Chain A
Amino acid sequence: MLQVCSVKKSFKGRTVFSNLDLFVEQGRFHVMIGPSGCGKSTLLDGLTGVFPLDEGSLLWKGKSLEDLRHHAAYMQQKDLLLPWFSLLENALLPARTSGQDMKTAKETAGRLFERLGLKGYESHYARQVSGGMRQRCALVRTLMFNRDLILLDEPLSALDTITRQSLQSLLLLLQTEFKKTILMITHDIEEALSLADEIYLLSTRPMSVSGRYVLTLPKPRSDHDPALTAMKADILKKLEGDLNHEPG
């Protein structure tokens, strides 16, 4: 579906990543995992055209593309809900700004609110609800982009453990029920192991792919599966090795 070929980005001479390749396959759940500050958000920003990439190319369904602005929905690290709109109005923003039929959009959003457990909170302001609900609302808004590919930047990192677990199952819904292709960033290994079909392990300075894991276990998964435990140990070892090599 998407092929990212040897992209590069540097800020003021400091290379965040170069020669980076990624393959995103239709319908699969991809997770990128790496230490914080290694450049994961920068990669997604570059892919979606927040700023231009220095080098490299993107192939979208066989066609060359400048960026994914019109093909992917990008959920940034913060929920970015507008305080002057209700949750429903926030979720409807993509429909409103792209001139979709508002009646259909409202029905769709209403159904998503119900499915993601936000029913009854449509007219609440963001500050009136919990962090988990804000994040679910941001998720609805992301779905309202109506795009096949969804890019998620640490969607659960700001949440407490209990909320995270209930939201993990909702993220899975994106794939199973809404048939989305997902590329998600996290720095939580267990989260990656429980959700991913494919894990890209990223190393730091400059960021590069230091490992690629394919997971075929059916979801939802148990933490205690020996295959996962082994994989976790391997990832941890690589991450530690990476950090030890860091200069300074």
Chain B
Amino acid sequence: MNRVNLPAAILVVLILGVWEAAVRLLDVPLFILPPPSCIVWTALIRAPLIFPHALVTFSEILMGVGLAVITAIPLAVVMFARPALEKAFSPFLVASQAIPVFALAPLLVVWLGYGMASKVFMAWIIIFFPICVSLLEGFKSCDPEFRILFRLMGASFFNTLTLLYWPWALPRFFAGLKVGVGVAGIGAVIGEWVGAQKGLGFFMIQSNARLRVDLVFAAILWLTAMGLALWRLTGILEKIIIKWK
């Protein structure tokens, strides 16, 4: 994982290069599309301005992820233990993915206020599903021969869950969690667009209104960096926890 993905790096450099050259050669005004060099520069020198907003969004994402994890685990366990409950819940889970979160955002702001709660909830809605489903799939993928072994040992469901199913499902759980931390920012930012006094989404709307497109892009850059950092962090956590691989 420490080696650089060379083809991807080349592609990124290529795209940025074309962008930079096109903007400069065609003399595109700054308030339409700034060149990448300007975006990076803005993101850096405006860091004191952006950082407080980023911190708010980052906290919302973290809380959304935390909430999703502590709710997805029990639900996955319950659905795994009682297939009847899985049947009952799964239409709701699928529906929760079919609802466009944009449509919910205004309602959530009305219900939960302009503070962080509505944004945390938005993030939760988006990432609960991949975490819960991947964990459930992980439980189900357990090799029947191991289940038989545990039955022959007379193990209780709780013992089988903690000693067999849970570690068995951990790689899938982390796969779901990685997807989750990657997209959690979408929920938080949408929530902030609809109504907030802080956060990167709020900052983007404000900058946009003042035609500061460079600041909008700088905020997007920060958001991307945060998503990547969380994704990396999850990967590191996975390596630490699944140390038998």
A contacts, CB < 8 Å to B: 45, 48, 50, 69-70, 73-74, 76, 78, 80, 82-85, 93-94, 96-98, 125, 127, 145
The A-B contact count (CB < 8 A) is: 47
Cα A84 to Cα B154 in complex, Å, equals: 20
**From DSSP, what is the main secondary structure of chain A's interface residues?**
loop
- B-chain residues with CB within 8 Å of residue A97 when the two chains form the complex: 150, 153-156, 159-160, 163
In the bound complex, do residue A82 and residue B145 qualify as a contact, i.e. CB atoms below 8 Å apart?
Answer: no
Cα A74 to Cα B152 in complex, Å, equals: 8
Interface bin, chain B: 10 to 19
Cα A83 to Cα B170 in complex, Å, equals: 12
B94-117, CB < 8 A from A? none
In the bound complex, do residue B148 and residue A125 qualify as a contact, i.e. CB atoms below 8 Å apart?
Answer: no
Judge if B146 is at the interface, Cβ distance under 8 Å.
yes
In the bound complex, do residue B159 and residue A96 qualify as a contact, i.e. CB atoms below 8 Å apart?
Answer: yes
**From DSSP, what is the main secondary structure of chain B's interface residues?**
helix
Judge if B164 is at the interface, Cβ distance under 8 Å.
yes
Cα A84 to Cα B146 in complex, Å, equals: 13
List, sorted by A's number, 10 A–B pairs whose CB atoms are closer than 8 Å. A48-B152, A50-B151, A73-B152, A80-B149, A82-B167, A97-B150, A97-B153, A97-B155, A98-B154, A125-B244
Extra A-B contacts (4), CB below 8 Å, given A80-B145, A94-B153, A97-B154: A74-B152, A93-B163, A96-B159, A98-B153
Q: Of the candidates A50, A70, A94, which one forms a contact with B148 in the assembled complex, judged by CB atoms under 8 Å apart?
A: A50
CB-based closest 9 A-B pairs: A97-B155, A84-B167, A97-B153, A84-B244, A94-B153, A97-B159, A83-B244, A80-B149, A50-B148
- B-chain residues with CB within 8 Å of residue A93 when the two chains form the complex: 153, 163
- B-chain residues with CB within 8 Å of residue A70 when the two chains form the complex: 154
In the bound complex, do residue A76 and residue B244 qualify as a contact, i.e. CB atoms below 8 Å apart?
Answer: no
State how many angstroms separate the Cβ of A74 from the closest Cβ of chain B: 6
Q: Of the candidates A76, A85, A98, which one forms a contact with B145 in the assembled complex, judged by CB atoms under 8 Å apart?
A: A76
With A78-B145, A83-B244, A125-B244 known as contacts, the answer to whether A69 contacts B163 (CB < 8 A) is: no
